[in-house]
Structure 1
Amino acid sequence: MDTIYADFSVSMSEFKKNPAQVLRTAGEKPVAVLNHNRPAFYMVTPALFEALVDELADRGLEKLARQRLALKDTAIEVDVESI
């Protein structure tokens, strides 16, 4: 059995009948659209999608920062005022 990462779920048939109503019912929460009782896809609002993309970008920056912190012993000190 697959894990469903949403508070709301609907069948593919129900979704096809009226996707706008499904979105209104869910509000700002994600919706799992099921095909044969398995998640086929998730429907999310633009605001939630943007938050997910931002989170992924932040994780990429965190990884880069950690890599650079690991190399701080080889850093060269620079006087910003002299530039």
Structure 2
Amino acid sequence: MRLKLAYPDCLVEVNGEEVYTFCGRLFRASLSEIRAYVEGRDSILPEPIKRKARDIVSVLDHLNMGRGYYTAPHGIRAA
């Protein structure tokens, strides 16, 4: 499953269990680490991914893919 999120300051791509964020630099994290962070468990994530973590999990949950996953009206595309 591939999902792309576009923000004015960065791009986020979910590709399977990997999440890539480009905000001037490329950052990578596993989807399980992002879920852990959003759920309040211990997780080590780069700051740009932390800032987008709740959006990532929310979109995936609303799309109802896998463990949960939505499209919002502001430029979110599922591929």
More helix by share: 1
Common fold by TM > 0.5? no
State the TM-score, normalizing by the size of structure 1.
Answer: 0.26
State the TM-score, normalizing by the size of structure 2.
Answer: 0.27
Larger radius of gyration: 1
